Amino acid sequence: PSFIGKLAMMLDDQTAAPYVAWSSTGDSIIVINPSLFATQVLPRYFKHSNFASFVRQLNLYGFHKTSQESETCEFAHPMF
């Protein structure tokens, strides 16, 4: 699957939910703890555990960071 396909599978995966999920409004993606997300989730879907590489891929597909609180990162896309 493509990056977007893998992202969709990841967001549907309940075992990934403690690390990455849709926002409560459903219009952005929240990475709850980037360092744990990188080690616990990324290797299951991609051949790496590099959070910066994941963010670059999001950016290539039109996502942009909307906030970075202490432990979370939120990404939105203009189409939703």
Q: Which residue from 7, 27, 25, 19 is spatially nearest to 72, judged by alpha carbons?
A: 19
Task: Tell me the pTM.
Answer: 0.89
At residue 22, φ and ψ (nearest 5 deg) are: -70, 150
Sequence spans of domains, the chain: 3-76
22-78 per-position pLDDT tens digit? 999 999 999 999 999 999 999 999 999 999 999 999 999 999 999 766 688 999 998
Q: Which CATH class is domain 3-76?
A: mainly alpha
